[in-house]
Amino acid sequence: MKGDNYMYIKFDAKSINESVARMTVAAFMMHMNPTLDEIQDVKTAVSEAVTNAIIHGYPETDLVNSKEGECSEKNEIEMICAQEDETLKITIIDKGVGIENVEEARKPFFTSKPDEERSGMGFAFMETFMDVLDVESRVGKGTKVTMIKYIERKDEQ
């Protein structure tokens, strides 16, 4: 798929928006003629990154249990989807608490919330399902997760 395309969305850090992000990215990549597996991989990776931003980035508004309207204006998540030819790049940004040790956080089974039935596999899934995963974070400033997937062109095979 030649050409380029871009989309930017910003949404409240509420758990209901995890599915919004997942469906939006699926719609964005559709014209790249992906396989069902590729769509599923990207949706899963986005879901993990957005869930992390909601739950870990903004812990005091862990929104599974919070009431409507409790979310302050600042608790927002940005998602940028950019396509350039066969490359799909997705960036998910929160301005939350940040990660102290990114290397440790990325390790499989590492979780800072073992008591909340978290398995510590989010970053491991992002790494497996995408071709590139980059995590930048600053304590007190927030976290930026960049993921790339190469969607091979099927229309000329």
Ligand X SMILES: Nc1ncnc2c1ncn2[C@@H]1O[C@H](COP(=O)(O)OP(=O)(O)OP(=O)(O)O)[C@@H](O)[C@H]1O
Enzyme catalytic residues = 48, 52, 118
27: nearest Cα among 46, 48, 2, 13: 46
Asked if 143 interacts with ligand X (CB under 6 A), we say yes
120 touching ligand X, by CB under 6 A: yes
Count Cβ neighbours within 10 Å for each residue of 75-111 and write b for 16 or more, e otherwise: bbbbbbbbbeeebbbbbbbbbbbbbeeeeebbeeebb
The residue (of 81 and 105) whose beta carbon lies closer to Mg ion is 105
- Closer CB to ligand X, 63 or 99, in the complex: 99
Segment 59-118, which members bind ligand X (CB under 6 A)?
A: 94, 96-99, 105, 110-113, 118
Sorted by sequence, the CB contacts under 8 Å of residue 25 that are 6+ apart come out as 42, 43, 46, 79, 81, 90
Q: Does 44 bind ligand X (CB under 6 A)?
A: no
- Judged by CB under 5 A, which stretch of 44-52, 95-103, 125-133, 148-156 contacts Mg ion? 44-52
Pick one of 52, 61, 83, 143: the residue that binds Mg ion (CB under 5 A).
52
CB atoms within 10 A of CB 125: 18
Residues that bind Mg ion (CB under 5 A): 52, 122
